[in-house]
Amino acid sequence: MKLSIPFCILLFCTVLQTPAFAAKSYDIKVMTPEVQQAINARQARYDEVKALKALSQLGENNQGYVSVLGSDSKAQKLAKVENQNRKTIYQTIVSQNQLGPGGMEAVEAVFAEVQRERAASGEAIQLPSGKWASK
């Protein structure tokens, strides 16, 4: 079987496009007002959340959300709205990328991993095993 050079190049490019070789993108394809609002709100409270994490009043759990670790009422209030905003973002990724009902769990797990990696030294993080640790 004689294969032409353009054909071989096309074949090579096709193979590179397969999931085994290329990372699939899961973007927010349509920036809905709800997602934009969720991101804006998270940006606005970012410093407050960061400060409460530094005081160990908040920690990143292994499901992609913040958990209240102390008795600070402000931390409880912030955690509630922060988690609502995160859920909006996660649900949008799941629905816009058609990940199905099990996709939410995958999205939450990956965001949790990213949060663990981004946590500053001394902040509380929950490991995949469920155990809490200080980074």
> Smallest distance from the beta carbon of 126 to another protein, in angstroms?
16
Q: Which of 9, 31, 77, 100 binds another protein (CB under 8 A)?
A: 100
Nearer CB in complex with another protein: 57/116: 116
Residue that the structure tokens 């990372």 belong to: 23
Query: Cα–Cα–Cα angle for 44, 49, 54, nearest 5°?
Result: 145
Q: Which of 26, 87, 88, 95 binds another protein (CB under 8 A)?
A: 26
Work out which of 40, 76, 84, 134 binds another protein, going by CB under 8 A.
Answer: 40
Is 15 among the residues that bind another protein (CB under 8 A)? yes
**Interaction between residue 10 and another protein (CB under 8 A):** yes
User: In 3D, which of 110, 69, 55 has the Cα closest to residue 86?
Assistant: 110
In the set 27, 73, 130, 131, which binds another protein (CB under 8 A)?
Answer: 27
What H or E segment, with its residue span, contains residue 66?
A: strand 66-68
When asked if residue 89 is in the footprint of another protein (CB under 8 A), the reply is yes
Size of the site for another protein (CB under 8 A): 43
With beta carbons less than 8 A apart as the criterion, state whether 98 and 92 touch.
no
